[in-house]
Amino acid sequence: MTAVVHSALQPADTATRVGLPTDQAALTRLHRRLHAVAKAVVKRDDLADDAVQRVLIRLWDDGAGFDARKGSLETWLAFLTRRAAIDVLRVETRQRRNETFGHHIMATIESPEDALESAALRGMVHAVLAPLPDAQRIVVEATYLGERTNDEVARELGLPLGTVKSRIRRGMHKLIDLTTVADSGADVGLGTRRDA
């Protein structure tokens, strides 16, 4: 930590111009104070080091516009360090948010194989539901495939809740009967539909 301060402040003209202490002990104390200011904002040593480094580089490059008539060097550097720490924290937070968002997006994207499998599964489910009477098929699809509650389906279709529940129950019994008949090898007779 001390070596960074000393090497960043080598140019004698900058140190002289801004009134920076020239002895190593004073530079070390200043660095520790600035590090404490930054760490109070960012709560992590590595980010605090980044903030202090930004301030020292700015100071080295151009004296950072310091004016001794407006206040002490240490107060001014503490102000710059706090601003730099806020900037470092914003960048870190943005990067973390972007990484989290990227991981979330990648987790929700289906691979081509998964998309084909999902499409095939949806097709099979619709084929299985096709023999149901329209009134039963609509409420079963809305409830199970649409992932809606019975209340939501009743409101959307403008039906009494009891009617929705009975259509779901009759539709599910019909599906059980159809799969039992299909498993036994008998002709299912899928061509006819009737209303609830």
pLDDT band at 25, cuts 50/70/90?
Answer: confident
| Cα distance between residue 62 and residue 66, in whole Å | 9
Least confident of 61-65, 90-94, 101-105, 152-156: 101-105
| Mean per-residue pLDDT, 89-100 | 79
Sequence ranges of the chain with CATH classification 1.10.10.10: 112-184
| Mean per-residue pLDDT, 109-117 | 68
The domain 2-108 is classified under which CATH number: 1.10.1740.10, 2.40.110.10, 3.30.365.10, 3.40.50.300?
A: 1.10.1740.10
Sequence ranges of the chain with CATH classification 1.10.1740.10: 2-108
Q: Please determine, for residue 113, whether its predicted confidence score (pLDDT) is greater than 90.
A: no
DSSP structure class, residue 70: G
For 112-184, CATH gives: 1.10.10.10
Q: Can you read off the two tokens belonging to residue 60? A: 């080295």
72-86 tens-digit pLDDT: 888 888 999 999 999
Contacts of 28 (CB under 8 A, 6+ apart): 1, 2, 5
| Cα distance between residue 169 and residue 162, in whole Å | 10
Least confident of 1-15, 55-69, 93-107, 181-195: 1-15
Q: How many CB atoms lie within 10 A of CB 30?
A: 20
Secondary-structure breakdown of the chain: helix, strand, coil percentages, each rounded to the nearest 5 = 80, 0, 20
45-75 tens-digit pLDDT: 999 999 999 988 887 776 657 777 888 888 8
Quote the pLDDT of residue 192. Answer: 44
